[in-house]
Amino acid sequence: MTPVIPSAMAMSTMESPTSLTHGAYAELRSELLACNFAPGEKLKIDDLCRRFAVGSSAVREALSRLASEGFVVSEPQRGFRVAPLSVDALRDLTDVRCSIEALCLRGAIEKGGLEWQSQVVAALHRLTNTPVWADKAARRYSNEYAKAHETFHEVLAAGCGSPWLLHLRAVLFNHSARYRWFTGPLSKVDRDLAKEHREIAEAALSRDSEHAVALMNAHLQLTAKIVLDAVSSEREPAAKSAKAKPGKAHAPESPGLKRKRGALSA
C-alpha cells in the first residue's frame, strides 16, 4: 500500500495545539501591551476565540500564561480581566526600571566590545529612521517603531552579559510598554525622541557611564511624568466641579481618553 503523503500546502496549514496556543498568546500579549484592551476590561473567551481564530483551550492557556506574567488578572468564578494601571504602580515600576537599566547600562559600557558597539549603532539607525506614528493626529505609535524601540533598548543593555539582569530588564520593559502606549493619546508634550535616544547611545559608546545613566533615567522618568501630569489635569476640573456643586462632580473626557475612562487609578 502506497502511503499517503500530505502535500506541502496541506502541511503548511496544519498547526499543532502548541503552535496555536503560542500564536494566541503572542497576539493577545501584543494587543495588551499596545493597550488595545482597556485596563480592567473583561476578557471573554468566546470573543477572543473569534478574534484570533483559535479554540477555547488555546485561549485559556494563553490567558493563564499572561496572568502569570502580570498582564492579565484571573478572578475565581469570574474569568479574566486586563491588569489595571495605576499611578502608584507606575511610580514604582519606573523607579525599579531606572535601577535595573542603570546596572545593565554600566555593565554594557564596561564590558561591551566592538560587536556591541556595532549593534547599538545599527539599532539607533533603525530607530531614528522608523516613523514614530501610525496615526499622528491620534498620537498612536506605529508597531514598527515599537519594535525598533524595543530592539534599541535591548541591544543597549545586552552588552552587560548578565542573563538575570537582562531577564529582569525585559520584564520591566514589557510592563512599561503598556504605560508608554497609554501616554501617546494623553501626551501634550512633543518629545524629541530621536534626540533622547541618540544622546543615550552616544554617551554609552563614549564609555561615559555617569552621563549615559543620567540620560536614561531622565528618558524613563519623562514618560512617567507625562502620564502623571495628564491624570492630574483630568482630575482638576472634577475637583473644581465637586467644590461648586457637591455630589455632582464628573471627570470630563477628552476624545483620546474616552475608551479608557477610569483606566488609570490613583
* The pLDDT of residue 199: 98
* The pLDDT of residue 222: 92
* The pLDDT of residue 136: 81
Q: Which residues of the chain have pLDDT under 50?
A: 1-14, 238-239, 241-242, 244-259, 261-262
Q: Count CB neighbours of 252 within 10 A.
A: 9
Q: Say how far apart CA 258 and CA 266 lie, in whole Å.
A: 18
* The pLDDT of residue 180: 84
Retrieve residue 60's grid coordinates.
Answer: 485559556
* The pLDDT of residue 233: 72
* The pLDDT of residue 266: 56
Contacts of 171 (CB under 8 A, 6+ apart): 69
Is the alpha carbon torsion for 59, 62, 67, 71 positive or negative? negative
* The pLDDT of residue 182: 80
* The pLDDT of residue 15: 53
Domains detected in the chain: 18-84 (1.10.10.10), 86-232 (1.20.120.530)
**8 A C-beta contact, residue 139 and residue 180:** no
Q: What angle do CA 179, 182, 184 make, to 5 degrees?
A: 120
Q: Say how far apart CA 139 and CA 154 lie, in whole Å.
A: 24
